């Protein structure tokens, strides 16, 4: 560990915070709750721009929206960082039907997984159900799956209190299901949506292919339709009819949007914070990650409004392409490394929805986690209690490869409702609570202030 970071993080017990810190933080919360811009900014992003899948016209308009917003708040510097991004489109709306042995049919709600190939017209085949990806992997013979449509019906674990742990337990089904099903000769793969409620909203999300295995179409059924299909399969053999018109296009030029408040004492010391500007092309990307975008922009606006002069440079980044490639996060980290005069001392990300704040997690050393825990006392009256070792975020993650000792901090809101909306048509502005969103903005602004004062 460098001498600089050793001094910062090896002596958290010696840090002292005066009364001025609590007064400052109280003022931050007052500004966010009584004069906040976050809710209106989120409304504008969701309604004036809409869903923002990488490579789309909406993503391009979101870049313009973000730059204009930052400029309107008079940040010291606002600029774009060019990157190359993938461009995938789902095309004509997907369609799917359960076809019973008597010839009757039942239409289902489904979405192609991001990056999937299309079906090249209507595809029909018998459905074979598996309770998990592991059950499919352990299949001894391909006779039951060859030429069929594999259906992986693994529900998220409702007994997990932290719903992100439940999500992590099911993610391989979505990410790797097409590869595993194709290896067993399947024509396509269907998965149960990664969502906790049993409802009609399918949840999309990224998935992978490999060059050594044939690509097959991949789609997610709503949890309600997954249960309907599973119930039917217990009674009889059924066929599934599927049509998807997905397609890939050449990479496109896009941008991360960046705004800064310049450090007054250590301008070359950078604290990066932000979320991702892109979203999936269903719903409006309100919680994922419109909320994170406005959390961080509002945090910087509040500090600017309070005439706060940071010691270190506070750099706000709207990352592009987190959902299907993380080109924005990787490109930013590589670009940051090239700025040889810069020293990256911390990074913060908000990408877990606009729900009531619960605290912050730290992807860092034991000493860095102890430093995070030393900040808890400032937040107890604001109902924040999670200050622990954990995850930083997808967008800021690549900074670890370029700056090994950098601590990555993740904003932690309440997780109970996040997977009601994640990657689903229901992720719309109306499902974000104004006060909870504003409390998150205040928490992040206060956290940035404490980082800046003590790093």
Task: Indicate the SS3 state at residue 31.
Answer: helix
Spatial distance between the Cα atoms of 232 and 95, rounded to a whole number of angstroms: 19
Q: Which two tokens stand for residue 21?
A: 């810190």
Sign of the torsion angle spanned by Cα atoms 30, 34, 37, 42: positive
The helix/strand/coil state of 289 is helix
Contacts of 149 (CB under 8 A, 6+ apart): 123, 125, 126, 127, 128, 186, 187, 188, 189, 190, 240, 242
3-state SS class at 204: coil
Residue with tokens 């825990």: 373
Q: Is 71 a catalytic residue?
A: no
Say if residues 406 and 5 touch (Cβ distance below 8 Å). Answer: no
Do the beta carbons of residue 129 and residue 231 sit within 8 Å? Answer: no
CA–CA–CA angle 365, 371, 373 (5° rounding) = 105
Q: Which two tokens stand for residue 62?
A: 């979101």
SS3 of residue 292 by DSSP = helix
Both structure tokens of 395: 């967008």
Which contiguous run of DSSP H or E holds residue 95?
Answer: strand 95-99
Given the residues 243, 298, 322, 323, select the one marked as catalytic. Answer: 322
**Bridge partner residues of 220 (DSSP):** 111, 191
Helix pair 291-305, 19-35: axis angle to 10 deg: 120
CA distance 331 to 400: 13
Task: Compute the distance between CA of residue 146 and CA of residue 143 in angstroms, rounded to an integer.
Answer: 6
- Report the catalytic residues: 322
């Amino acid at each position: 560990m460098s001498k600089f970071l050793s001094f910062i993080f090896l002596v958290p017990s010696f840090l002292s915070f005066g009364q001025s810190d609590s007064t400052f933080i109280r003022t931050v919360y007052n500004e966010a709750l009584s004069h906040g811009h976050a809710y209106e900014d989120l409304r504008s992003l969701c309604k004036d721009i809409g869903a923002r899948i990488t490579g789309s016209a909406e993503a391009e308009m979101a870049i313009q929206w973000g730059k204009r917003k930052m400029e309107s708040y008079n940040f010291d510097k606002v600029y774009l960082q060019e990157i190359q991004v993938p461009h995938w489109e789902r095309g004509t709306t997907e369609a799917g039907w359960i076809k019973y042995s008597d010839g009757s049919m039942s239409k289902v709600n489904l979405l192609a997984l991001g990056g999937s190939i299309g079906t090249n017209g209507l595809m029909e085949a018998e459905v074979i159900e598996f309770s998990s990806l592991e059950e499919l992997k352990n299949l001894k013979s391909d006779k039951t799956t060859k030429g069929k449509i594999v259906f992986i019906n693994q529900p998220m674990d409702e007994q997990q209190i932290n719903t992100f742990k439940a999500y992590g337990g099911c993610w391989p089904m979505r990410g790797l299901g097409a590869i595993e099903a194709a290896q067993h000769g399947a024509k396509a793969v269907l998965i149960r949506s990664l969502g906790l409620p049993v409802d009609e909203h399918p949840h999309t999300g990224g998935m992978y292919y490999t060059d050594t295995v044939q690509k097959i179409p991949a789609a997610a059924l709503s949890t309600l339709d997954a249960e309907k299909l599973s119930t039917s399969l217990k009674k009889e053999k059924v066929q599934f009819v599927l049509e998807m018109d997905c397609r890939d296009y050449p990479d496109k030029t896009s941008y991360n949007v960046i705004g800064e408040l310049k450090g007054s004492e250590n301008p070359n010391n950078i604290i990066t914070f932000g979320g991702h500007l892109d979203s999936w092309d269903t719903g409006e990307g309100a919680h994922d990650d419109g909320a994170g975008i406005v959390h961080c922009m509002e945090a910087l606006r509040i500090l600017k409004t309070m005439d706060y002069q940071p010691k270190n440079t506070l750099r706000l980044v709207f990352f592009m392409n987190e959902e299907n490639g993380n080109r924005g996060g990787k490109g930013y980290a590589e670009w940051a490394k090239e700025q040889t005069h810069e020293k990256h001392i911390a990074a913060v990300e908000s990408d877990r929805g606009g729900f009531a704040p619960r605290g912050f997690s730290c992807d860092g050393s034991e000493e860095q986690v102890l430093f995070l825990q030393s900040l808890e006392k400032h937040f107890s009256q604001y109902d924040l209690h999670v200050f622990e070792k954990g995850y930083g975020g997808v967008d800021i993650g690549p900074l670890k490869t370029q700056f090994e000792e950098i601590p990555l901090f993740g904003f932690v809101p309440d997780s109970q409702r996040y997977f009601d909306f994640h990657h689903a048509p229901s992720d719309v502005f109306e499902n974000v609570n104004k006060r909870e969103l504003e409390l998150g903005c205040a928490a992040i602004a206060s956290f940035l202030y404490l980082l800046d004062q003590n790093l």
